[in-house]
Amino acid sequence: MKCKEAIIFIHEYMDGDLNEQGRTELRQHLTDCIACRQRMDQYTRTTALIRSMPRTKVPEHLTNSIMQALPGTSKRTAWTRWVRQHPAVTAAVLFIAVMLMSLVSMWDGDNRLMVRGNDLDQLVITKDQVIVPEGHTINGDLYVENGRLVVEGQVNGNLVVVDGQLNLASTALIGGEHSEINQTIDWLWFKMGEWMEAVTP
């Protein structure tokens, strides 16, 4: 099993969706791979921390009197108080941090430029950039993933850019719709919503 698969398995395991065979395979990978073992450990601890957080807001006067009763005020207690007063925000921040970390490792090495569409011979394609030069026409849709699409010419169809950037020059003529999709962000929001539903009493 590759780390990329292991990360997906870890997520499924945390959600309680991993079957017996998957668990065996994951266990095998964790025995061999220190990076995934640490990742798994991080998830487990974060989940435990989130679960242990109070679901209802602690009354402010109570928190204040407890804090005043404690000797000294270090940064640590200030932080603890903040966490207690903002459990949802803290959980969200932790969640995003963990997810981003796993995404970064998951997407590493899988960001090759991909171009789909009609009249590809009209394009100028470099390592991470696709250009529709001025005076050139694409008769149809154009789909670019993991790169920048620069339109100076004409596209008689729809433009879709996934995990990249769309630049329309003043000379650009677009016949259809154009949209930019960021899978990382969309996926994060999707997971956030899913997770918020799971922890909300």
Contact residues for Zn ion, defined by CB under 5 A: 3, 6, 33, 36
Select 6 or 174, whichever has its Cβ closest to Zn ion: 6
Select 38 or 64, whichever has its Cβ closest to Zn ion: 38
Select 14 or 199, whichever has its Cβ closest to Zn ion: 14
Least distance CB 8 / Zn ion (angstroms): 11
Least distance CB 96 / Zn ion (angstroms): 22
Least distance CB 102 / Zn ion (angstroms): 11
HEC string of the chain?
CCHHHHHHHHHHHHHCCCCHHHHHHHHHHHHHCHHHHHHHHHHHHHHHHHHHCCCCCCCHHHHHHHHHHCCCCCHHHHHHHHHHHCHHHHHHHHHHHHHHHHHHHHHCCCCCCEEEECCHHHCEECCCEEEECCCCEECCCEEEECCEEEECCEECCCEEEECCEEEECCCCEECCCEEEECHHHHHHHHHHHHHHHHHCC
Least distance CB 110 / Zn ion (angstroms): 15
Least distance CB 38 / Zn ion (angstroms): 10
Distances (CA, A) of 106 to 2, 46, 99: 10, 19, 10
Select 29 or 160, whichever has its Cβ closest to Zn ion: 29
Select 35 or 173, whichever has its Cβ closest to Zn ion: 35
Select 21 or 170, whichever has its Cβ closest to Zn ion: 21
Least distance CB 2 / Zn ion (angstroms): 7
CA separation for the pair 100, 130 (Å, rounded): 27
